Amino acid sequence: MAKPGLWCKRYGRWMRAELIDSRDQTLQVDDPKYRVYFWAEDGSKQEWELSGADLDEVLEWIRLHSQGRSHSLWAVTRLPDEVCLIRLQGIDLDTRPDAWPSWARRVYL
């Protein structure tokens, strides 16, 4: 049986979809925090941390507050002495375009 996948027209690549064994999970976070970054055309940035919401609520909050600005969305996880961000949407516009994933260069440049 072929593995299910999805052609992402916007990014010009295949998204992989694989069945997994959930017994490999060792940790779960039921009250996630999110970081949202908004970039204005002049390069200035606003940074927000959201909590007490699920992903749909966060996406709605972004829609209501973006004011036409580019944004990126990240899940936040904290370890002792570390804050780790996991990209969910968008890219880090603070980095050089040559450091972006190839799909991001095709979309944003």
Dump pLDDT digits (tens) for 30-69: 999 999 999 888 878 999 999 999 999 999 999 999 998 8
Q: What is the pTM of this model?
A: 0.76
Q: In the chain, where are the structural domains located?
A: 30-108
Closest by alpha carbon to 48, among 20, 67, 30?
Answer: 67
- Alpha-carbon distance of 27 to 15, in angstroms, equals 25
Distance, CA of 32 to CA of 49 (rounded, Å) = 11
Amino acid at 70: S
Of 38, 53, 48, 49, the closest CA to residue 94 belongs to 38
* Residue 108: predicted pLDDT: 64
Give the residue with greater pLDDT, 23 vs 17. Answer: 23
DSSP secondary structure letter of residue 4 = P
